[in-house]
Structure 1
Amino acid sequence: MGLSHSSVYHTSHVRTVTTSGPVIVEPFSDVWPRLDICDFYNNETYRPQFDLLIQSYQAIYDRPYEDMRSYYQFAGIHGLPYTTYDGVTGGVHEYNNQTEWAEGRWGGYCHHGDILFPPWHRPYLLLLESLLVNEAKQIASQYPDNEKEKYTEAAKQLRHPYFDWGNEKAIEGLPEIFLTPEIEINTPKGKEKVKNPLKSFTLPVDVAYPPGKGESPTDKPNYNVPNLTYNPFTPAGYPTIRHPNANYEDQNNFIKSNMSVHVPTVFRPGLYQMFHISDYLRFSHHGVKPGGEQIGNIFSGHPPPSAVGIGHFASLEIVHDDFHLATGGLGGHMAYIDLASFDPLFFFHHVNVDRLFALWQEVFPDSWIPKLATLNGSYTDEINKIVDENTDLTPFRKTKTEFWKSSDVRDMKKLGYTYLEVEKFKGQDPKKLQAYLLELYKPDDHYGRRFFVKLTIEAGKLAGPYCVRVFIDLPDANAQTPTTSPHFAGFVSMWHSNSNSHVHDNTFVGGTVDITAAMIRLNLRTETFELIHDVNETTGMLNPSAIFDVEKDISIVPVTLDGKGVSPKEAGVKKIEIFTFEHDKVNPNFLDENSGQYYGSKKI
């Protein structure tokens, strides 16, 4: 993120191992589904599970923060405080806070920007799930006799819910369960109104580096929302926050507004694209180098001979990034990779990411993890270490001496959970599930030919999260142009970057924006080209005026989280391309087919 060493990893305390022994992540003996939080919360059938979930979250919040099974310690695995969890180090390559950050190595255990991004989160979520279920079983035993059997069974079936932010109903914003400060549940003592642990988590220790005057929550009501050059400071006793104001309060109206824009223009088109990608490499993460080592060739011209590489559509990770920015906002924990996991919303988001991963696996069961370098490193893995399905997913112990590997978690049912949609289509032709998912996440009613703007963006050019907005047929679009404008088509997010790291030189993110819906709103032409009128007889290439002049008709507007606009060059935008694919008329491998039309490119 372009942050100084001290401003990144500082925390007032370090982890200490408790006497309860090493934390071993064990699979469940029975398989039960993870459910949509909206069904989980509103359906009386699941009310006992919901009662237990709320109480179990609070129970792990209340554990001493030094306890490896406390929420603080568990959440800290992901990013800050960049210290050892449960004694798991990198051996001779152990992370050194004094030198590693300056060299660009990521200090959390999590894998970002590499092929282990989807599987690493499986044992992470399983650990949380097991902590919650263990608490739920103890709580269930305390209910009166006439309710004990019901709650004991509910504890057995409890699995962590997800929030499907790609569903159409997500346009309305976050479910109320993530917003309300108190909630009524049935406890062993009867109906009680309790503090809602899903709204926020209160930090037990100082996290991040104390900033200047006015830049700490202790300075409210004159709290100045932090800029993007450092992680927001959270002092002990203060909760996680989303889109904070000067009183260090959530601004839920901002979240609702963001969701109303992001769901139709970013989340749904992104997922629709993603479920066409049959290559694990392209599906799994957003890291890419110019030579195509990570994600295929960066397409450099007009076809023929082929369009290989033209379709780095929305990877799982890049769509995932967008949700972090939409819900966190400037100064909100979810928007900062180092701090995001302290907000409980993080885990409902990531269970959904795992669900999407599981559904993708069912659609493309033969595509799996290749052997590649991890570009960012982690607390236990050096930069450029070669990783594959047999790489240890640290710090998650399978036994006292073994760690979970991606090959161990490929089949989620062996871990003791599933998803209802997976079970519904089990044993059927994968194309049926794919058709269901394309219908579920279709961005609009316009089937067939879809239009895309592809952006190639060099990572590490700006400090902190930002996004690159795409406007159609609006040459004077700028950072103040509202995303509610009919000309707004969507954006590519850059959740994390590191401007002072040479490691990220020549590392690129490729993302696309589906501009079809915006074209329809603006009554722009979407039909196929006519050979006689639209193709240059001399060059054989499409005339730019046929539909788009990439120089004039596509406006690229990079915007930082604080709303400031920067130039495309400053934001690292290297290339803009426009192309089409006929989504529903080709087989699932269409990204490697020359089935579309190319409308030209512009280098920045």
Structure 2
Amino acid sequence: MLFKAEASSALIILAQLFAEVHAAPANYEADPDLIRIEEKRQLQTLNTRPFTRIPATLLTLATNTRIPLTTTRSSTLPVYTLPTTPGYTPPYGYTTPPYGYTTPPYGYTTPPYGYTTPGTTTSTRTTSTTSTKSSATPGYTPVIGANNTCYERLKIQTLQEKDKDQFNMLLLALEKIQQTPDSNPFGWYQIAGIHGRPYVTWQMGPTEVPYDPSRGYCTHGSILFTTWHRPYLLALEQALFHAAMAIAATFSGAAQTQYLAAAARLRLPYWDWADPVTQSYLPPITMNPYVNVYKPDMSGNPVLVGIDNPLFAYKFLSASSIAPLGSPFNAHMITARWPNGAWVDNSAFASSNMQSGFAGRVLGTYNAFLSGSYNLFSNRIEGVHDGVHGATGGGGNLGSVPTAAFDPLFWLHHCNVDRIMAMFQAMNPSLWLTPAPAVGTFARPNPPNTIDDTNSLLYPFRRADGSFWISSHTNPVGTIWTQNYGYPEVPCSYRGRRPEDLDTFTTNQANTLYARGRPPIPGPSREWNVRLLLDQAEIPGAYDIYVYGGTRPSDPYGDPYGKGYIGSLSSMTPGAPDQYKDSRIRYVDVPLNAYLKEYGYYGADPYKITDYISKDLYYTIIANGKPCSFQDLYTAKIAVYSRDIYDSGKQDQLPYYTSEPVYHLNVTRNIPGGIKSIEEITYPVKVDGSREVPWPELNSTRIQT
């Protein structure tokens, strides 16, 4: 894409092939079939037709036709090969850890490393229409994260390789939390259940707000998507930190000192699914059913034992645990990724799916950094996030909003989303979310025309004073340091330094990670995208719109991420296959620059590009595992647009847009779902015939001198 495309090339990891970047021809003239946004800003009336919802039933896609992990879309491109990791067989077979601990045998009156035991607070505050205090608050533990000092959250591979003691404590803490009774608010079952099912309150009174028992607390599809997940991650990190400190205290002698220090720096790790080195593959440690760890024996001495890997799957504790999860999850006592009909996990298939979408994913991530508004950034990164859930979930837990957080991979995935959010905040300190239409949640069944803004309550997370978290508590970026964590790209060491210094550092890191193959000479280039959009209320359950190019997939329904896959618009099921989401336009921009470079068209005359992609690009829709047709949908639209971008070539600067999007109607007007007029994309129609507001980028062009 824009220079990003260069980044995309980088993404393909072939710096030598992608080092060459071409600008649009100097004599380029817009073809008569394209329309610029600024020429069509006036809302015009479109002919509408009756809307019919599409029924769909949940099916599990076949999982035995995937290409091998070492195969890439093009034989001319090298591909990262997963390191072989031997499987672990527990040397000491047991279903319950042999050294159970409920109270640390080695008590301490002076908390080591600034650690204090979490307490429970009871609130009797009253509520007014403008207060964030609770009138019916039960006892609660505030969500404050780790309460010692600031440490970086690390990439999962880095943590495993470079800080083995902390990694050991992470596994022990995860195991302990996953085996904590369902009744514990800071056990795995309840923390994961905040996101969706079992649709019950978490540290809130039974009548504190008018609850909606048809969904969870999560704010998917809202401008609060990134900000809500920040305290959510802190809740688990807080539980892990305290569990690790308690476990470390059960060691004796020098080992106790060693593991208390490791527990003190324990923070959630992240999975960087846009890393050009590992190319979106699942971290190998998350694919092993077993793992070896050091545990204290009866004398507190560390011994190596094998355990069920808590990063691979979560095992529910009883039949009553899964009963409220809905079909098919209420029939299985363990989480799974792309399971087959027998509910056998197929993480290898999920990993291969992820690699297929790597080139577009890294470009999409880099493009999110170029957003001229926070709302646009949030939508873009949520679109990338949705694609990860689609590629890793299938008919398993990660593909369903109500059950996704039970899978341990969810937390590594969302930690990376939080990291990307922090990087954007560091590089754009003046941008913050602005009011937008609200999305209903378990604790907020929104009436029509409700608006979310930076002061909307982020239920159910409370602060120390009993007030609820709001998005303002997550801005500016330095607020993460007050919660005692940072990232390698937003390090704790920058606390107290000038925002400009952090901006320069983080921008440098973003370019280093995601923009390899930048043009050797500063100059302009052009970004190409396919925009896919749909009112999420038109199709019940889950759906995916896929884009293919270069080759037609042999089985786009049985193997949707197979050869030719470029990108997709994904939406997880909100619950049952027949359940509809609230009406809202969802969209994603699928980057085309990497695809155009791979097939020799990037930098070509725009006429040649549009002629090629109008014949080559191929689209399919899968709704709840079944084929779905564009002709049967009212709101599904496909648009192709290009946009100019300028790259200074400087490592501490991001490229920036120099034009508004230009839509190429000659590419889409003759295909099902393709736009035939500019209003179809700038003022998209919803299922009730109303229209969405204009796209954020109409006011987001960044002009730099």
TM-score band, normalised by shorter chain: 0.7 to 0.9
Q: 1:484 to 1:208 in 2, by over 3 A?
A: closer
Give the corresponding residue for 2:620.
Answer: 557
Give the corresponding residue for 1:196.
Answer: 309
User: Does residue 319 of structure 2 align to residue 257 of structure 1?
Assistant: no
Give the corresponding residue for 1:48.
Answer: 165
Give the corresponding residue for 1:85.
Answer: 202
Displacement of 1:502: 8.0
CA RMSD of aligned residues (A): 3.4
Displacement of 1:379: 2.6
**Inter-partner Cα distance in structure 1 for 2:589 and 2:203:** 40
What is the DSSP-based 3-state SS (H/G/I as helix, E as strand, rest coil) of the residue aligned with 1:240?
coil
**Inter-partner Cα distance in structure 1 for 2:155 and 2:364:** 20
User: Does residue 654 of structure 2 align to residue 581 of structure 1?
Assistant: no
Give the corresponding residue for 1:418.
Answer: 486
**Inter-partner Cα distance in structure 1 for 2:315 and 2:633:** 34
Name the structure, 1 or 2, with higher relative contact order (CA <8 Å, separation 6+): 2
**Alpha-carbon deviations, 1:538-593, whole Å to 9, x = none?**
xxxxxx6673377644322213463x4321243555332222223443896955x5
- In structure 2, stretches of 5+ residues that fail to align are 1-52, 57-119, 123-137, 298-302, 676-705
Taking only the aligned residue pairs, the percentage that are identical comes to: 27
Displacement of 1:381: 4.7
Displacement of 1:419: 0.5
Q: 1:525 to 1:2 in 2, by over 3 A?
A: closer
- Equivalent pair of 1:455/1:512 in contact (CA under 8 Å): yes
Q: 1:36 to 1:257 in 2, by over 3 A?
A: same
Q: How does 1:75-474 map to 2 (within 5 A)?
A: 75-88=192-205, 91-95=208-212, 97=213, 101=214, 107-171=215-279, 173-189=281-297, 190-204=303-317, 205-206=319-320, 231-235=327-331, 238-265=333-360, 267-285=361-379, 315-330=380-395, 332-384=396-448, 385-399=450-464, 401-410=466-475, 411-423=479-491, 427=498, 428=501, 430=503, 433-442=506-515, 448-472=525-549
**Inter-partner Cα distance in structure 1 for 2:632 and 2:316:** 36
- Equivalent pair of 1:114/1:374 in contact (CA under 8 Å): yes
Give the corresponding residue for 2:156.
Answer: 37
Partner AA of 1:31 in structure 2: C
Displacement of 1:341: 0.6
Displacement of 1:343: 0.8
What is the DSSP-based 3-state SS (H/G/I as helix, E as strand, rest coil) of the residue aligned with 2:632?
coil
Displacement of 1:164: 0.7
Q: 1:381 to 1:172 in 2, by over 3 A?
A: closer
Larger Rg: 2
**Inter-partner Cα distance in structure 2 for 1:481 and 1:445:** 37
Displacement of 1:139: 0.9
Partner AA of 1:111 in structure 2: T
Partner AA of 2:198 in structure 1: P
Partner AA of 2:143 in structure 1: V
- Equivalent pair of 2:217/2:442 in contact (CA under 8 Å): yes
Displacement of 1:144: 1.8
Count residues in correspondence.
514
Pairing partner for 1:511 from 584, 588, 597? 588
Q: Name the TM-score, length of structure 2 as normaliser.
A: 0.66
**Inter-partner Cα distance in structure 2 for 1:486 and 1:242:** 21
What is the DSSP-based 3-state SS (H/G/I as helix, E as strand, rest coil) of the residue aligned with 1:469?
strand
Give the corresponding residue for 1:548.
Answer: 611
User: Does residue 569 of structure 2 align to residue 492 of structure 1?
Assistant: yes
- Equivalent pair of 2:197/2:324 in contact (CA under 8 Å): no
Q: 1:459 to 1:158 in 2, by over 3 A?
A: same
Give the corresponding residue for 2:182.
Answer: 65
Q: 1:246 to 1:598 in 2, by over 3 A?
A: closer
Displacement of 1:324: 0.9
**Inter-partner Cα distance in structure 1 for 2:290 and 2:512:** 36
- In structure 1, stretches of 5+ residues that fail to align are 5-16, 102-106, 212-229, 286-314, 530-543
**Inter-partner Cα distance in structure 2 for 1:523 and 1:24:** 55
- Equivalent pair of 1:200/1:239 in contact (CA under 8 Å): yes
**Alpha-carbon deviations, 1:100-141, whole Å to 9, x = none?**
x4xxxxx21111111111111111111111111111111111
**Inter-partner Cα distance in structure 2 for 1:62 and 1:480:** 38
Q: 1:383 to 1:167 in 2, by over 3 A?
A: farther
Q: 1:357 to 1:599 in 2, by over 3 A?
A: same
**Inter-partner Cα distance in structure 1 for 2:358 and 2:562:** 15
Displacement of 1:145: 0.4
Q: 1:570 to 1:232 in 2, by over 3 A?
A: farther
Give the corresponding residue for 1:294.
Answer: none
What is the DSSP-based 3-state SS (H/G/I as helix, E as strand, rest coil) of the residue aligned with 1:257?
helix
- Equivalent pair of 2:357/2:561 in contact (CA under 8 Å): no
Displacement of 1:480: 5.3
